Structure 1
Amino acid sequence: MNMTDTLDRAAVGAERKKSPASVQVVASPGGVHAWLVEEHAVPLLALEFAFVGGASQDPAERPGVANMLSGMLDEGAGPYDSDAFQTQLADHAIELRFSADRDAFRGSLKTLVSHLPKAVELLRLALNEARLEPEAIARVRGQIEAGLRHDASNPDVLAMRAFNETAFAGHPYGRSVRGSLDSVAAINRDDLSAFRAGVLARDNLHVAAVGAVSADVLGTLLDDAFGDLPQASDLTQVSQIELQGQGVRRVVEVDTPQSVVRFGAPGVARHDPDYMAAYIANHILGGGVFSARLFREVREKRGLAYGVSSALYPMRHAAMFFGGTATKNERVAESIEVISAEIARMGAEGPDEDEVRLARQYLIGSYALHFDTSSKIAGQLLHLSLEKMGVDYIDRRNDLVASVTREDVRRAAARIFDASKLLVVTAGKPVGLTGQG
């Protein structure tokens, strides 16, 4: 370790010892677990929760079920029809939302502590007694279909869809979370009920809470909100998959003056020993900051695009390095060439000492920004719970970043940055590019 590296670690030492949140593990009398940050400065509670499963549990022939159900749970439940349920939320200033991604069915509740009993009642009803009435199903279906029709000419959506279909062919990740016009039209009440019965259960539930409640109070709330759910989920097994289509160049024709480019390759799993080093390597390459190599080469030096970035995506059943940009049709080929060259250079040479030092400083110093609101804290806690990172990860994380050496980053970069493995999908009318349509 050189003197500069030693001084750098000493300078950030005090910063990385600061914990942005003190986390308690709460177990309700009924056995529902949650992570809690108790904060009484403001009389609010932010609750984030997720059921492992998500759109990967959609029937293969009917993608979009999880997404549609997420739009149905607050469309009437228990004694309240849709209008009455929404009125109850509005009258008590309660925010209740549901969503679905590939790996989880998610929910979010935000309320004043004075309205906690009503908020918990409405959450319990939505999860257990959603009416799923024909009129509401038709209304939500219509909203989804309108969005899908709009997306039919959206190059961002088309590029992402084509990328997933190629990268994860034959796998649930290859299907659209929102489904298609045909699949959404076919979804019925039985599909929604079956998904709810199989996925919304206590054994695959993760909960994070931030706000003005004690552990004892939260324990009671957890049972009130989630205690009536089935104990055991019934999930369809989803296989692990490595990104397919490596080396493929695919073009989706869209009549637009600007093309969208998406690129990716195999990444590293979240619990891989090289993950943090790979995370730093990606930050240096394309981590969304002005100092990133891709930003400098693509935007600053050549003016090829307004922005370009990359990230690691360690999903539950796949690990991916992924990035993208958008540029004029005439400059797409050059942009892809520059991006590929920078990825190849990072893989072959790795970063220099200054790049690693500055990356560590930035990642350590900016970590607290993920915890500056109750909702952000709850979201971060839920993410860490889902990733099985341990309740002490927040305290350990900056030390993990600081311990990464240049050699660690070079080793990880060599693993994941190989331009020959890039799957590249372009949506638009790129000049001089050909590929599978």
Structure 2
Amino acid sequence: MIRFIAAACCTVVLALPATAQQKIEEVTSAGGIKAWLVNEPSIPFIALQIAFRGGTSLDTDDRLGATNLMAGLLEEGTGDMDAAAYLRASESLAANFGFDAGRDSVRVSAQVLKSNADEALALLKQAIVSPAFNEAAIDRVRGQVISSIESALKDPSAIAEKTMARIAFGDHPYGRPSDGTVESVTSLTQADLIAAHKAALSRDHLVIGVVGDVTAAELGPMLDALLGDLPATGAALPKAVKFAAPAGVTVVDFPTPQSVAIWAQDTDINLQHPDFMPTYVMNHILGGGGFGSRLTEEVREKRGLTYGVYSYLNWMEATEYMGGSVASGNGTIGQAIDVIRHEWARMASGGVTAEELEKAKKYLTGSYALRFDGNSKIARILVSSQMDHFPIDYAATRNDRVNAVTVEDIARVAKEVLHPDALQFVVVGQPEGVVSTE
């Protein structure tokens, strides 16, 4: 994944209470483009976050890495402007543009002044709709991508993640390297990048969030002018896939004094499931809550086996699973894995205490406001909520959903969701006493 920022732009501060109480409008342009909008006229800036569903998972077998490379080239020239000219043009407008490719989306961000929004968005349109993909820029950005891929080949965490993806998803797009391989990226042509652009950047893939000094009446024409010339349809999104890694251990030999272990298991709880919030709170207590979590207490604080350990719920567009990560010395990683298995089983059989739940609720509700400290962050949350298929009032009701979770809810979902005997561990290093079960 690569990110390119064109120019610096000041941050507009807007706190959660204003966002939760203000109306989030769903705007539909004359051309049928939809966006969620928070009108905030106090400072004359507009923040846009644009996501195109699909991302690097739209790469075909013979063009691995094409979407990632394509996204890196979007501001590397358009029309008669090369990358330097495009940067100067954006700076002259005090505009800030960012482009990013991920597994499930290609993202575009923009911060523009209200006073010259039409001109700034016309410049952004050129990057989105008609990038040049000239050979000099392709060669330069290709070199950056290959350097990143080569660096990842020496990173135990990256090796572990790619190994787990291959084991869990096989031939599905999620099982392939998101950035491609050195060989695949080297072989990509201009025609491949044009094809990736057409496949990924289309109106049917659009998800948009806008915050700032713009009304619904003003936003509709802006959206049509900016995005209306994109193709109506792009490539089909990947089909749903189950996390299918078998229970056991996979050791990847790597010369390092410290092993990295990641683990995961399938779960049927997605973001629309009635038990989503109890599962979310449960994971916070188990390992998602940093220094207040059980895994940190048991693996780091009591036994000193690691500097950091955490668990997570990974909800992707086409799958969902639960896992975690830890790093420990080659001589102690086996003990760390044993403790993690034990804590997984303890949570499954015993749930949480009332004190643990109350502490988690206070943290989760109190820290939520910190996510809303700038218009760009709020716009990003509007996009993420749509990507996750949340209702438009989710930001206003989220803390109530957290507070509604009970000890009994967590005991029930922990028993249903957590399966210590189903965990797949991928260990990268030279762990002592840990062997592959394959």
Q: TM-score, normalised by structure 1?
A: 0.92
- Report the equivalent of 2:11: none
Q: Distance between the aligned counterparts of 2:320 and 2:276, measured in 1? A: 10
Q: Distance between the aligned counterparts of 2:181 and 2:191, measured in 1? A: 18
Aligned pairs, number: 422
Cα drift, residue 16 of structure 1: 9.6
Please say which of residues 333-342 and 149-158 is displaced more in the overlay: 149-158
Q: Distance between the aligned counterparts of 1:288 and 1:159, measured in 2? A: 23
Q: Which letter maps to 1:259?
A: S
Report if aligned partners of 1:17, 1:398 keep a CA contact under 8 Å in 2: no
Q: What RMSD, in angstroms, separates the aligned Cα atoms of the two structures? A: 1.8
- Report the equivalent of 1:4: none
2:388 corresponds to 1:422: no
After TM superposition, list the pairs within 5 Å mapping 1:217-366 onto structure 2.
Answer: 217-235=218-236, 237-267=237-267, 268-366=269-367
Q: Which letter maps to 2:136?
A: E
- Report the equivalent of 1:215: 216
Report if aligned partners of 2:281, 2:360 keep a CA contact under 8 Å in 1: yes
Q: Distance between the aligned counterparts of 2:21 and 2:422, measured in 1? A: 39
Q: Distance between the aligned counterparts of 1:335 and 1:323, measured in 2? A: 12
Distance 1:81 1:29, change over 3 A: same
Q: Distance between the aligned counterparts of 1:101 and 1:207, measured in 2? A: 16
Distance 1:18 1:180, change over 3 A: closer
Please say which of residues 76-85 and 295-304 is displaced more in the overlay: 76-85
Distance 1:214 1:201, change over 3 A: same
Which residues of structure 2 form unaligned runs of 5+?
1-15
Cα drift, residue 21 of structure 1: 5.2
% identical equivalent positions: 37
What whole-Å deviation, never above 9, does each CA across 1:298-349 have from its counterpart, x for those lacking one?
1111111111111111111111102101111111001111011101111111
Look up the SS of the partner of 1:35 in the other structure: strand
2:26 corresponds to 1:25: yes
Q: Distance between the aligned counterparts of 1:30 and 1:273, measured in 2? A: 35
- Report the equivalent of 1:131: 132
Look up the SS of the partner of 1:61 in the other structure: helix
Look up the SS of the partner of 1:245 in the other structure: coil
Look up the SS of the partner of 1:19 in the other structure: helix
2:53 corresponds to 1:52: yes
Cα drift, residue 20 of structure 1: 6.3
What whole-Å deviation, never above 9, does each CA across 1:393-417 have from its counterpart, x for those lacking one?
1122112112222121111111221
2:378 corresponds to 1:373: no
Q: TM-score, normalised by structure 2?
A: 0.92
2:35 corresponds to 1:34: yes
Cα drift, residue 17 of structure 1: 11
Look up the SS of the partner of 1:391 in the other structure: coil
Distance 1:79 1:429, change over 3 A: same
What whole-Å deviation, never above 9, does each CA across 1:84-132 have from its counterpart, x for those lacking one?
1122122223221111112111111112223312320121111111111
Q: Distance between the aligned counterparts of 1:18 and 1:75, measured in 2? A: 35
Look up the SS of the partner of 2:63 in the other structure: coil
Look up the SS of the partner of 1:311 in the other structure: strand
Q: Distance between the aligned counterparts of 2:18 and 2:42, measured in 1? A: 23
Report if aligned partners of 1:284, 1:293 keep a CA contact under 8 Å in 2: yes
Report if aligned partners of 1:308, 1:325 keep a CA contact under 8 Å in 2: yes
Cα drift, residue 134 of structure 1: 1.3
Q: Which letter maps to 1:307?
A: G
What whole-Å deviation, never above 9, does each CA across 1:263-296 have from its counterpart, x for those lacking one?
1111321111111111011011001332210010
